[in-house]
Amino acid sequence: MKKTFATFLTILLTLSAWAVDLPKQGFGLQIGWAQPILRLNDPSTVYAKDSLINTTHLNGLKIGVTYDASYIAGFGSSMGINYTFGAQKTDWKKKAYDLSHSARYTTTYHQIELFVDWQYKFEVAKETYLILYSGPTLQYGFAFNVHTWEREDFYEQITKDETINRYNIDDANRQLSHLNVTWGVGAGFQYQRYFLRGGYDFGILNPYKSAKFTDSDRYTRGRFDQWNIRLGIYLWYEK
């Protein structure tokens, strides 16, 4: 599956590179908000695919560079590289198996993305466009750190203070794969050299490594999605 998507992404990148000799091009910077969403289905039940037991929303920042080119009329592509950061912090909450103790968690996530979007620009006024786009993104997550604090509530004494990287921990049932592929859909607006884009990326690959529960034939399944919205400017734009 990963080889298939890697080949497909290579083809898209090759086609996009063909646009170098075309008249309408632009190179720019973009920055905005991102919300990576890690979803986990329960692998221990018969209806695991319908049993969502955990969803982690991480709010953060997306920043990157983009190259834009038009092929025919308003049809073209946008490709580039982004860095995405996400974070989440919970409140203190009683532990289910020990009501005398509470726990809280801080999660931080770091990711590099290579994206290719096929797009169509509708010119609604002079140098003003509405944009529809869709395409794949190859993601590489290099840190998914979970910092855990536990305390004894009566004395408010910290009993646990540790950080783990979910890409590196030994517990195979929770270990994540660094690579992920998503398919995004979105819309945008461009005025002269300035643009605004936003959309949703649907995770295609299972981000969990092949982890089988000992009492079941089912595997851990999940999906890594993402909301995002970006503001940008073309530093160089050829009409």
pLDDT digits (tens, 9 = 90+) for 173-224: 457 888 899 999 999 999 999 999 999 999 998 887 655 544 555 566 788 9
pLDDT digits (tens, 9 = 90+) for 40-58: 776 554 444 445 556 788 9
Q: E strands along the chain, which residues?
A: 25-41, 52-57, 59-72, 75-89, 93-95, 98-125, 128-152, 157-165, 179-191, 194-203, 221-238
Distance, in Å, from the CA atom of 165 to the CA atom of 143, rounded to the nearest integer, reads 6
pLDDT at res. 200 = 97
Classify domain 2-238 by CATH number. Answer: 2.40.160.20
Segments making up each domain of the chain, as ranges: 2-238
pLDDT at res. 18 = 52
pLDDT digits (tens, 9 = 90+) for 86-139: 999 888 888 767 777 888 889 999 999 999 999 999 999 998 999 999 999 999
Query: Residue 143 in contact with residue 110, Cβ under 8 Å?
Result: yes
Report pTM.
Answer: 0.79
Residue 156 Rama label (left phi>0; alpha psi -120 to 50; beta): left
